[in-house]
A and B are shown apart, each in its own frame.
Chain A
Amino acid sequence: MKKETPNGKRSVSREEWLQLAKTRGSVDPSVFDDEFSRRAVQALRYMPEEADPGTVLKTLDKVIEKNAAPETGNIFVLLKNPAVWLSIAASLLILLIPAAIIFSPANPQIDHEKLYAVYFEPIGSAIPMTGTTRGPENGQTSKNSAINAYENKNYELALGHFQQYLADHPDDQEMTFYYGLSLMASGKQVEALPRLTEVAESAIDENYRHAAIWYLALAYLKTKNEDAAFFLLEELENQSENPFYQKKAKSLLKEFKH
């Protein structure tokens, strides 16, 4: 909470300022060594009761993000900005990941197969099956069939149903997640990567997002891309919203370090 500035003086951190804001400035600003902190804390007395300082800071953060982002609309302006080149490079990197998986030498000290076998276990489906209609197979029946086959660990059969359902419902993140897991359980880790990446990067539900990152890390482990797996596991280890996957990530990272 308490932040020390590089020269050893005490400065108010964002977290501490927000904490102090709850008491509306009942702290003595002189405990801080720099003028910036003292005045920032002194200002809390002007904060109205109804004001939510956390929201105000987030609003200002968005102002920064909006104004710091490169201008859009003019391709020449965009191409002058090195950040755009970085984004292009990042996209190329994503495209080259499968190649890297195939060609990069793996660390011989890590037993990928063994670790994957110990840690990979498809999670039970959280999608309830609902009533079906008679007649030709519709979206709901293919969804039910996919989940049913997945629950019965008949992953090869589930794949066909998932594909059929997702062809008509490409934005269904939950089903995309279980499709990714079915691919992994069927030994198709490379095919699972884009599916799980999609959920890891865009899932609105944090539980699915964390779960997708975990399985994505395992898919990279199985394909011997330790760097990608390591980075994703660190992501999970450093977050605290989902202790379940945080613990799993910590445990697997330990194995990496042995």
Chain B
Amino acid sequence: MSLLNRRAFKNYREKSDEELLIVYREGGDHRVLTTLFQRYTHKVLGLCVNYLKNYQDGQDAAAEVFEHLCKNLHRYQISKFEPWLYFVTRNHCLKILQRRLIPFHEDLSEISPEQFMEKPGTEDHYNEERLEQLSDAIEELKEDQRRCIVLFYLEQRSYKEISEMTNMDLSQVKSHIQNGKRNLKNTLMNQV
């Protein structure tokens, strides 16, 4: 990076998010975007991992969020950048979750009295709120149940694969998934 570029970065670093957005809208300098987005690399990565419950998937989702925003930021009207970025990232993760959970539609309907998908088998319509509640409820599970539920539903692993990955025998895996489902149902019922 040239000394002049470093000087520009230094100037940008001293600005607030909203000031950077103004600079970007006025000139579109790509270094403004770099400065702005790199303030939140850790948070976007963390949020994606938090929703998807898997580090690699979280990295991929975070990269997709940034790729999309680098090319499309100019299309959005943003007043407060950080909360806006939170919701953009969250929505992207919920869409990924939705796609993953389609094959488990019946299971999820069993867990929750309200359907997660308004139109089963599609990703066009989904109940964001319920998906978010499900994601949060998974966080509340006991460690073994959480691991098995995440591997089974979100990573779509078989019982055998989960058994090999966790060093649990098949009956334990099945038991953790069953108990996990029951606990998820209870948590979600209480939230209704």
| B3 and A12 within 8 A (CB) | no
Task: Say yes or no: is A31 at the interface (Cβ < 8 Å to chain B).
Answer: no
- A157 on the B face (CB < 8 A): no
| A40–B59 CB distance below 8 A | no
With A and B bound together, what is the CA distance between A96 and B59 in angstroms?
Answer: 44
Q: How far is the CA of A47 from the CA of B38 in the complex (A)?
A: 20
The reply on A141 being an interface residue by CB < 8 A is no
Question: Closest residue of chain A to B46, judged by CB?
Answer: A40
- Interface positions of A from 32 to 59, Cβ below 8 Å from B: 34-37, 39-44, 46-48, 51, 56-57, 59
Note all chain A residues with C-beta closer than 8 A to B30: 68-70, 81, 83
Across-interface contacts of A232 in B (CB, < 8 A): 3
Q: For window 23-76 of chain B, which residues contact chain A by CB distance below 8 Å?
A: 27-31, 33-34, 37-39, 41-51, 53-55, 58-59, 62-63, 66-67, 70-71
Contacts of B63 in A (CB 8 A): 59-60, 63
Residues of chain A within 8 A (CB-CB) of B39 are 14
B139 at the interface (CB under 8 A from A): yes
Residues of the B chain whose Cβ atoms lie less than 8 Å from the Cβ of A48: 55
Q: A63-B67, A83-B28 are in contact. Are A43 and B47 (CB under 8 A)?
A: yes
Least distance between B153 CB and chain A CB atoms (Å): 15
| Contact present for B2 and A67 (CB under 8 Å) | no
Task: Determine the residue in chain A with the shortest Cβ distance to B62.
Answer: A60
- In angstroms, Cα B2 to Cα A93, docked, is 13
Q: Is the interface of B mostly helix, strand, loop or mixed?
A: helix
Measured in the bound complex, the distance between the Cα atoms of B2 and A94 in whole Å is 11
B53 A46 Cβ-Cβ under 8 A: yes
Per the bound structure, the CA–CA distance linking A61 and B62 in Å amounts to 11
Is A200 engaged at the interface, CB distance under 8 Å to the other chain? yes
CA–CA, A174 and B47, complex, Å: 46
Closest to A39 in B: B50
Measured CA separation A68–B66 after assembly (Å)? 9
Contact A64 B55 (CB under 8 A): no
Q: How large is the interface on A (under 10, 10 to 19, 20 to 34, 35 or more residues)?
A: 35 or more
Chain A residue, CB-CB nearest to B5: A90
Q: Which of A128-171 contact B (CB under 8 A)?
A: none
A95 proximal to B (CB < 8 A): no
User: Do A14 and B42 touch (CB < 8 A)?
Assistant: yes
Tell me whether A185 is interfacial, beta carbon within 8 Å.
no
Specify which of A39, A61, A64, A200 is in contact with B46 (CB 8 Å cutoff): A39
Closest CB in chain B relative to A23 CB, distance in Å: 14
Give Cα distance in the complex from A90 to B55, angstroms: 41
Please name the residue on chain A nearest to B71 by beta carbon: A67
**What are 15 pairs between A and B in contact, CB < 8 Å?**
A17-B43, A39-B47, A42-B46, A43-B45, A43-B49, A43-B58, A46-B49, A57-B45, A59-B59, A61-B38, A63-B66, A64-B66, A68-B37, A200-B3, A201-B3
Apart from A17-B43, A44-B46, 13 more pairs, CB < 8 Å: A17-B42, A18-B42, A39-B47, A40-B46, A41-B46, A42-B46, A60-B44, A63-B67, A68-B31, A68-B70, A83-B30, A90-B2, A90-B5
